[in-house]
């Protein structure tokens, strides 16, 4: 009989015990023994594995159903020429298209923001400083950051669409329509946060 007085562990037969295990047990501390005991007695969620899988599947289904890039959602452009600009999703293409086989969205954003207005300024100067320069662009979802805010500007989808980007005269008309809609919303003093330049 071999006794380990340090840990108060007694081994009656060495035949069933490997040398490696024996050495390991010799140098075990009280803390290690307690850990091992806790591990044995701890609750094992293996019994409820099927329930966890079912819950995970349900959750993933719900997440899939929630569309982040809904029309009207305010987004931030993360890269490219318009990085840091605020934009509104006009139409989203979750499954992509033939020419762009990835998730993307048609957005209308503000390239040049309106400048600060003071009370002492005249009407003409206020009109000049309230001008907005918009942009229309198809952007990959990877380069968009959706926000919790939404801006409900009723853009004319017959004018602002995918086809207008390829044709220059159509794009000019679409940009003019977007400009008028954005300026109208700015003057009504609704969603003032959207028309402020993002400082970063």
CATH number of the domain at 175, please.
2.30.30.770
pLDDT of residue 109: 96
pLDDT of residue 61: 52
Look over the chain and give the mean of its residue pLDDT values, rounded to a whole number.
Answer: 80
pLDDT of residue 1: 44
Domain-located, residue 110: yes
**Number of separate domains in the chain:** 1
Phi and psi at 183, nearest 5°, equal -65, -35
- Alpha helices (runs of H) in the chain, residue ranges in sequence order: 19-26, 30-41, 49-65, 123-129, 163-166, 168-187
pLDDT band at 121 (very low <50, low <70, confident <90, very high): very high
pLDDT band at 96 (very low <50, low <70, confident <90, very high): confident
Domain-located, residue 37: no
Q: Is the dihedral of CA 66, 86, 153, 163 positive or negative?
A: negative
Domain-located, residue 58: no
Domain residues for the domain of 140 are: 73-195
Domain-located, residue 88: yes
Phi and psi at 65, nearest 5°, equal -70, -25
Domain-located, residue 16: no
Domain-located, residue 2: no
Tokens matching residue 25? 């047990």
Phi and psi at 30, nearest 5°, equal -60, -35
Beta carbons of 32 and 7 less than 8 angstroms apart:
no
Domain-located, residue 15: no
Domain-located, residue 10: no
The pLDDT tens digits for 37-85 are 766 655 554 445 556 566 666 655 555 445 778 899 999 999 999 999 9
pLDDT of residue 9: 46
Residue found by looking up tokens 């069933």 in the block:
16
């Amino acid at each position: 009989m071999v006794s380990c007085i340090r840990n108060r562990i007694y081994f009656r037969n060495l035949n069933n015990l490997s040398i490696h295990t024996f050495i390991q047990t010799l140098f075990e501390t009280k803390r290690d023994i307690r850990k091992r005991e806790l591990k044995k007695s701890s609750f094992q969620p293996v019994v409820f594995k099927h329930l966890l899988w079912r819950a995970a599947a349900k959750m993933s289904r719900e997440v899939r159903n929630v569309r982040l890039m809904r029309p009207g959602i305010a987004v931030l452009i993360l890269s490219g020429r318009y990085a840091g600009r605020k934009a509104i999703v006009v139409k989203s293409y979750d499954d992509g298209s033939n020419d762009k086989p990835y998730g993307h969205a048609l957005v209308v954003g503000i390239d040049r923001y309106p400048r600060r207005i003071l009370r002492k300024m005249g009407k003409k100067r206020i009109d000049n400083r309230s001008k907005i320069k918009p942009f229309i662009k198809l952007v990959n979802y990877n380069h968009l950051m959706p926000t919790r805010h939404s801006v409900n500007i009723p853009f004319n989808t017959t004018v602002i669409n995918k086809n207008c980007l390829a044709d220059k005269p159509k794009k000019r008309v679409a940009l003019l329509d977007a400009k008028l809609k954005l300026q109208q919303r700015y003057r009504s003093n609704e969603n003032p946060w959207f028309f402020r330049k993002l400082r970063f």
